[in-house]
């Protein structure tokens, strides 16, 4: 009898062209599917909860696959982890209802962005270093213009043919913390929770919030950018290396 397995994956994005399988490009989906084939001796289609850009990391990325097997979820987890490269790790495997679809069943998705406020070699692959002084209070003021249901066309990069650009942002949290390896280093962690995101939307939103933080634009300018519905009026995106898919909510 066919069973449906939900997996939670952590991965470092720097060696991959995102999650989704692409021709002649190394992706996380392709590596896990190849490993599933190695374990089960058959082609297994893996369904991811959404695309991620090249170099983006995953903390609790959700995927699922259907398969006839007598192996327990724990056995599947251990079998996959024994063969996967060290930059991909299956945190959990559980059997779920056959109707569960990691993408279409998701109600909310959460992304995390990390900014280093001091120079450190430890965060080169995981954070965007900014030498300018950042006004966090103004960034927090600007978030109120992003919360809610809006047409986020101004924050969608070219390269997508999505027709409906309306999305809902439920919450944006900005917190400053000491970096646990080196307490002389301060980091800014920005979590954005939404119904879904357009192509490069999270990186574009963070880019706009940082323009506010650097006091290049005022917080209320964000409202104006949304109303323009045109990408050319929005600030440039931040790099992919500081972005993490944090989790999906079902």
- Rounded distance between C-alpha atoms, residue 143 and residue 209, angstroms: 8
- Rounded distance between C-alpha atoms, residue 123 and residue 115, angstroms: 9
pLDDT given for residue 158 in this prediction: 85
* pTM for this entry: 0.94
The reply to whether 87 belongs to the active site is: no
Start-end ranges of CATH 3.30.70.580 in the chain? Answer: 3-96
pLDDT given for residue 120 in this prediction: 97
What CATH number matches the domain at 108-249, 3.40.50.2000, 3.30.70.660, 3.40.50.720, 3.60.15.10?
Answer: 3.30.70.660
Specify burial of residue 210 (Cβ count, 10 A radius: 0-12, 13-18, 19+).
buried
Start-end ranges of CATH 3.30.70.660 in the chain? Answer: 108-249
Q: Which CATH architecture has domain 3-96?
A: 2-Layer Sandwich (3.30)
* Cα-Cα-Cα-Cα dihedral sign, residues 147, 149, 153, 156: positive
DSSP result, 84-96:
S-TTEEEEEEEEE
Q: Splitting the chain (250 residues) into consecutive groups of 10 residues, what average pLDDT does each group show?
A: 97 95 94 98 96 94 97 98 98 98 96 98 95 97 98 91 93 97 97 96 97 97 96 95 96
Scanning 65-161, the segments in alpha helix (DSSP H) are: 73-83, 136-143
126-179 pLDDT tens trace: 999 999 999 999 999 999 999 999 999 999 998 888 889 999 999 999 999 999
pLDDT given for residue 163 in this prediction: 87
The residue among 32, 26, 84, 34 whose CA lies nearest residue 54 is 26
Local structure of 123: helix, strand or coil: helix
Specify burial of residue 129 (Cβ count, 10 A radius: 0-12, 13-18, 19+).
middle
pLDDT given for residue 162 in this prediction: 87
Catalytic member of 53, 87, 182, 184: 53
Residue for token pair 């301060």: 186
Per-residue 3-state assignment (H helix, E strand, C coil) for 10-70: EECCCCCCCCCCECCECCHHHHHHHHHHHHHCCCCCCEECCCCCCCCEEEEEEEEEEECCC
């Amino acid at each position: 009898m066919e069973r449906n397995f939900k997996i939670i994956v952590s991965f470092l994005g720097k060696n991959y062209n995102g999650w989704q399988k692409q021709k002649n490009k190394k992706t996380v989906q392709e590596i896990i599917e190849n490993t599933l084939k190695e374990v089960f001796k058959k082609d297994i289609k893996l369904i991811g909860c959404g695309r991620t850009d090249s170099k983006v990391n995953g903390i609790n990325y959700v995927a699922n696959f259907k398969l006839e097997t007598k192996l327990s979820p724990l056995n599947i987890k251990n079998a996959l982890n024994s063969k996967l490269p060290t930059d991909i790790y299956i945190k959990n495997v559980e059997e779920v209802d056959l109707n569960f679809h990691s993408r279409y069943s998701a109600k909310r998705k959460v992304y995390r962005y990390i900014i280093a406020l001091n120079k450190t070699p430890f965060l080169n692959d995981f954070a965007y270093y900014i030498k300018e002084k950042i006004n966090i209070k103004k960034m927090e003021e600007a978030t109120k213009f992003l919360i809610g249901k809006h047409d986020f066309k101004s924050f969608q990069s070219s390269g997508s043919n999505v027709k409906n650009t309306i999305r809902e942002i439920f919450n944006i949290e900005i917190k400053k913390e000491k970096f646990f390896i080196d307490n002389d280093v301060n980091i800014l962690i920005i979590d954005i929770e939404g119904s879904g995101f357009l192509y490069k939307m999270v990186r574009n939103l963070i880019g706009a919030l940082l323009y506010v933080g650097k006091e290049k634009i005022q917080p209320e300018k964000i409202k104006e950018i949304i109303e323009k519905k045109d990408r050319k009026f929005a600030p440039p995106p931040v790099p992919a290396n500081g972005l993490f898919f944090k989790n999906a909510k079902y």
